[in-house]
A and B are shown apart, each in its own frame.
Chain A
């Protein structure tokens, strides 16, 4: 069924959650008290500071960005929205990350977060309105000074121009403008009038990042700041039974060794001192039931469950229709646990001052993390200032409903009573859980004699990301975690008698969303199965898809553009083949054609052509970068990514045994934006990830006649 917003089901939760909490969407201007708070430490702004915009006397326009910047480019795209309406010069514009605050909540959902590929769409009206309001106030201030009619004045390139050649800079007008009332109604430009939006615009944060002036959470310097590392249990859910810390507490540079809710923390003066001490700790663990978990055991359990009836996620009109099929294809698919492995390992700095606290971390979930920190510290949320730091990637790991690493840092800070930066090593990160869940799918699809689908039974088995979190009441409907079946139960393919069931077994392994969430596995299954049916029907994979997408013009256009640019159907050098996939997620549609060969039997991806419809494009340079990056991220997982467990222990620990894509494996990527008449943007950060694994898998089929149904693809010798 087609619903108006069919992308992130997270959005549905957030909306309901905000309504339930009676949350208020706070407008543009802050109450006086908060304005003063914002003014502290800031270079004396002339326009009174408000939630999103400051204009200084020197004309600098600072846009305060409410989302986390972790690569996706919000510190460029969101200022572009303001600049479009403000009529300033782009070179006047700076960006700054907002701390946690109710005024920075998502406009519909009442909480501050970065996820669901929705940052630009969320700020689309809000920040253009901010720009238009500020421009109107600057014009009104100039008109007042010149005793002219506001209608006789206009803003252009950072100046207000008036009758008789009068001209005043935004900086010179800012103070006076700040004293004027905020216009309630402002007219916004139509897309045809855009001068900034849609123009390829280089990032505002490049120079600082190239010069290493950008400060990430891990780089934070504070007086008397201690470093803490935590020895986490070797098995999920294990408890400390005995600690022998004698050898460790006397080591140079070590100040504290304390037991925490999930391990043993070592605190000291430097990373290296603390790391050496942690390595020397002698801890005995009560392993508990977590020690029974193994990937092999889960595989057998899930495969068995997939053959049994599950909770209905989508009911087939006629479940018996498949019995009349001329040809039936039955396939079982498996995808592993995946770690996010952002380049900057997790970290969080806490200064606990007894009746208040200050936190620095690259959080995707400021509202949730602030509340969790407050609870851990026994404070009211408004007593906890959460500063958003630049984050070295995140991919979902820094948006944890459990706020695991933040709560742990608060627990340690409260106990040791010194400022503390909790640092995760790469090993802690890879073994720390909160993975993309392992999934098994079982699909039975029936075709009639003409190759037309007559029925499709689809069983999905895998842990629920949402169950047990505060999101459960909103995102688990009739026993179905929507993030487990998104991309299957709402497929755009015209599949008669599609039945989808879900089973969500529990395990001690903590799971979490990972760039594109459920689509990471549902796109792989749907797009390889459709390819398989095309072959079974004797049809071309592109033509077959198009025949099932007649009512979906965006999908058709993306398929056509990708196929055309990739030279679909044209000859390739011997030993190379193409595979195609198309998938919709987060409101956008991405089609990809992968060109693959085998080297020593393993897939080598040479070229990927992507066609992407993300609605109205704000910054084409960012869109290209995000699709390239999403393909690299998805290809890492498609070729290599796999977290496995044996006797409850994670068998990977660092990039040597959890490899991610390197330069020499990166294909040439072409990103083509599908022309769109849409009047607003849709998701950009995630939708490029889902299609790559099935595109590569389908190319492997074209090369070998073998159907890849298990990820990662790189662990199989295909020829």
Chain B
């Protein structure tokens, strides 16, 4: 049995410990907001937070999250100022197109801004380069991160 925490719930997991966290979230827990895109840590569609850090859940075994706190897009607190700023900016800047990669983009952006409220362009590149978007929403992702940053800095 592997015990870990997903969006604040305690999970007592009895299935294959080798299963990637992504599939435990999607198939076992029904949390389909975390997306499958590549299965080998190349695209970022599966980005979640593990103990507050952005992580690619397709390439983390369930065994490796024993005792850890996993947060998915479904578990984001609407009251959290970073969550609020990022989601608000994403809508305001009309970022999404097909939307499939966006939960991963949002999770990566929140992890970035939680640590660094005013990232430079180079820091945005570094944090967001793991997240592919085939629709090419990158310019608006960048704009939205800057808008969220401005909202957060302004509030300080």
A residues near B (Cβ < 8 Å) are 69-73, 202-203, 205-216, 218-219, 221, 227, 252, 270-273, 341-345, 390-395, 425-427, 621, 625, 628-633, 636, 654-656, 660-664, 666, 668-669
Contact = CB atoms under 8 A, between A and B. Distances in A.
A663 B131 contact: yes
Interface string B122-141: 00111011011111111111
Contact of B73 (A212, A270, A660): A212
B95 A206 contact: yes
A161 to B, nearest CB: 32
A206 B90 contact: yes
Contact of A625 (B94, B101, B124): B94
B135 A629 contact: yes
B35 A218 contact: yes
Contacts of A343: 35, 37, 43, 45, 98, 100-101, 132-135
Contacts of A208: 99
A216 B34 CA distance: 11
Contacts of B81: none
Given A393-B134, A633-B134, A663-B138, 5 more contacts: A271-B36, A393-B135, A629-B135, A629-B136, A636-B134
Given A343-B133, A392-B101, A393-B98, A628 B139 contact: yes
B47 to A, nearest CB: 12
A70 B135 CA distance: 9
A520 to B, nearest CB: 15
A529 B38 CA distance: 38
14 contacts: A71-B98, A203-B94, A209-B99, A211-B87, A212-B73, A271-B27, A273-B16, A393-B135, A395-B134, A426-B42, A630-B136, A632-B133, A632-B135, A666-B136
Which 3 A-B pairs have CB atoms at the shortest separation, nearest pair first? A632-B136, A392-B100, A212-B33
A205 B38 contact: no
A621 B128 CA distance: 23
Interface residues of B, number: 54
Interface stretch (B4-12, B18-26, B49-57, B63-71): B18-26
Contacts of A662: 129, 132
B106 interface: yes
B32 A660 contact: no
B20 A272 contact: yes
A221 B30 contact: yes
Contact of A656 (B16, B42, B103, B126): B42
A535 B87 CA distance: 49
Contacts of A390: 98-99
Interface majority SS on B: helix, strand, loop or mixed?
loop
A205 B98 CA distance: 9
Contacts of A271: 23, 26-27, 36
A628 B28 contact: no
A664 B134 contact: no
A344 B91 CA distance: 21
B55 to A, nearest CB: 17
Nearest to B124: A663
Given A633-B136, A663-B142, A391 B37 contact: no
A202 B137 contact: no
Contacts of B137: 625, 628-629
A632 B36 contact: no
Contacts of A663: 124-125, 128-129, 131, 138, 141-142
Contacts of B129: 662-664
B40 interface: yes
Contact of B140 (A73, A628, A633, A661): A628
Given A272-B20, A629-B136, A426 B100 contact: no
B138 A632 contact: yes
B13 to A, nearest CB: 13
A603 to B, nearest CB: 17
A302 B9 CA distance: 60
B60 interface: no
Contact of B97 (A73, A218, A661, A668): A73
Given A272-B16, A655-B38, A210 B94 contact: no
A345 B99 CA distance: 14
B38 A426 contact: yes
A427 B129 CA distance: 21
Contacts of A213: 33
The listed residue with most B CB atoms (<10 A of its CB), out of A213, A270, A273, A636, is: A270
The listed residue with most B CB atoms (<10 A of its CB), out of A72, A202, A664, is: A664
Contacts of A272: 16, 19-20, 23, 27
Contacts of A214: 99
Contacts of B133: 343, 632
B18 to A, nearest CB: 8
Contacts of A206: 90-91, 94-96
A630 B102 CA distance: 18
Contact of A621 (B94, B99, B100, B139): B94
B37 A344 contact: yes
Contacts of B23: 270-272
A207 B97 contact: no
Contacts of B38: 426, 654-655
A655 B36 contact: no
B26 to A, nearest CB: 7
B140 to A, nearest CB: 7
Contacts of A205: 96, 99
Nearest to B20: A272
A633 B134 CA distance: 7
Contact of A654 (B35, B42, B94): B42
Contacts of B73: 211-212
Contacts of B94: 202-203, 206, 621, 625
A632 to B, nearest CB: 3
Given A426-B37, A655-B42, A628 B98 contact: no
The listed residue with most B CB atoms (<10 A of its CB), out of A71, A203, A394, A628, is: A71
B32 A219 contact: yes
Nearest to A634: B136
Nearest to B42: A655
Contacts of A216: 35, 99-100
Contacts of A655: 38, 40, 42-43, 132
Nearest to A343: B100
Nearest to B108: A663
Contact of B98 (A70, A636, A656): A70
Nearest to B74: A212
Contacts of B132: 343, 655, 660, 662
Nearest to B40: A654
A123 to B, nearest CB: 19
A210 B136 contact: no
Nearest to A72: B97
Contact of A392 (B16, B30, B35): B35
Nearest to B38: A426
Nearest to A627: B136
B119 interface: no
Nearest to A215: B32
A621 B94 CA distance: 8
Contacts of A636: 134
Interface in B92-119: 92, 94-103, 106
A345 B95 contact: no
Nearest to A216: B100
A620 to B, nearest CB: 11
A631 B131 CA distance: 18
Nearest to A212: B33
